[in-house]
Structure 1
Amino acid sequence: MYYPSVNNLLRLGVAFFLMISIGTGCEQAVEDLGDPQNSDKTSGFIPGGNRKYIYSVESDGGAGGTVTQSVSGTRDSAGITVYNLQSVIQASGASMTLNNNLFVIGGKTYTEIKVPDAWYQYVTLFNQMPNVRVTKAVVNGYPAYMVMDNALKDGGKIAVSGPQVQEQLIEYTNNGNLGSVKQEIVHITGTGKVETIKVPAGSFVCSRFSYEVATTITTRVGHTQETANGNEKITVWMAQGVGIVKQQSDATLVSVIPLPTGEIKKIVTNTASTTTLQNIQ
């Protein structure tokens, strides 16, 4: 069954997940919003503590909402301070919470690329389809990290450390017939450029990073195989001690759905979205 509010929320969740998977910063033009109790953050890309960052999210597909982001806690791991960045997404009367780990080492900010919660929901829903039984559900290529140069300079890099491909695989039977769905995700290295940007929350001197995320979905039903490719081009402005200031995204998103009848349905959606920092509390 199709629920528009849930669909809109998931679309916003995916869009914002791509943003916070690189959670970064540069130098704010007005004031330093870093957490004075955690000096390792002030030269990195982690939002200041004890603050809330309010964003608007607009999409040409009609989905819109708000995101409230904060650093909700810290913990020590092998002598490294690891921060939890929490983002609460609200749209169409529904809510979704995302959490990402961030830390700073050697002049670079690392953000964990983790298995999305939506993956587990997908596996559960898939297993509830009539006459379908999931026989295998595995992920590969995790953990990996999005890594960004902290220095505010033209030509700064954003890239992946660890496995270069993240893979999610489901194998199943449908009325006794074998099938599978495999999704591969690749983050393509991008570069930065110093730029001043003004948004409702203020004026910020940022690194403007541009990069791409490519996806390939391969679906097999019996002897039939279908491959679909998706791509998202992302430009994001980042401010030190604040993180995300603005993001623009243009994407071709592809869904490949094995139907209970044994057929394969491909859905291609072109979307554009803009996320903007509205207020810091």
Structure 2
Amino acid sequence: MNDTHATDRFAEFRALHRPGAPLVLPNAWDHASAAALVAAGFRAVGTTSLGVAAAAGKPDATGDTRAETLALARGLSRLDALVSVDIEGGFGGGPDEVGALAAELAALGVVGVNLEDGRPDGSLARPEEQCALIRAVKAAAPALFLNARTDTYWLPGHAAETEARALAYQEAGADGLFVPGLQDRPALAGLVSVLRVPLNVLYSPGGASVPELAGLGVGRVSTGSLLFRTALHGAVAAARAVAEGTPLAVDGVPGYAEADRLAEAFAPGPEV
């Protein structure tokens, strides 16, 4: 990949994180879902660790999908899109291994990664350990947008740690902070006010809308596993409709040829 082109892509992705006009980042789980999102007009696409793991027949957040995540990243790198990859907690690696993974992803053309402090045993990494991983990523791939995720709102009893961890990760070099599960509007606004980097929020049906989140100063809104879970629901609902002889809504469903053409987005192109 041409170095100037790569630099432009990193800069373009970074510029999409605008507090008050947030990037809406849909999360794909395979080649077809990513290509469909790009075809629908989304310039940037993330991956969802749950979708990647479930598609491979593995549980999420156990650090066991490094190979599947890299394989998907290689495929998505051929899309005309800005791709951010969820690397969970670094797949169990220490600073050297996680830094090497970040460098490999950046070399593929991936422009961002999500790195979380939740661990497979249900605990949170010690802040100093997580900061070491963050520093390793930034040392190995300085241009990569590192979205540092803290699971303080997903693990009981840790919400009070959120600001301290966010500030520590910011000082370690994180380019954005992600706090899934944080929905309280005053708490969102308060966290935005103490950060120098964009705050990423996980969209929640029934929670704050994107315009509301924009008004609070949020810089990025991710869909997480929502699209994957919605697709599963839709597939089961369609199968039941066929089996039960009830009407099946097909308006907007891609035809065979249209779905098949999604693969063309992944045809190997010339090296540049």
TM value normalised by structure 1: 0.31
Answer 1 or 2: which has greater helix percent. Answer: 2
Structure number with larger C-alpha Rg: 1
TM value normalised by structure 2: 0.31
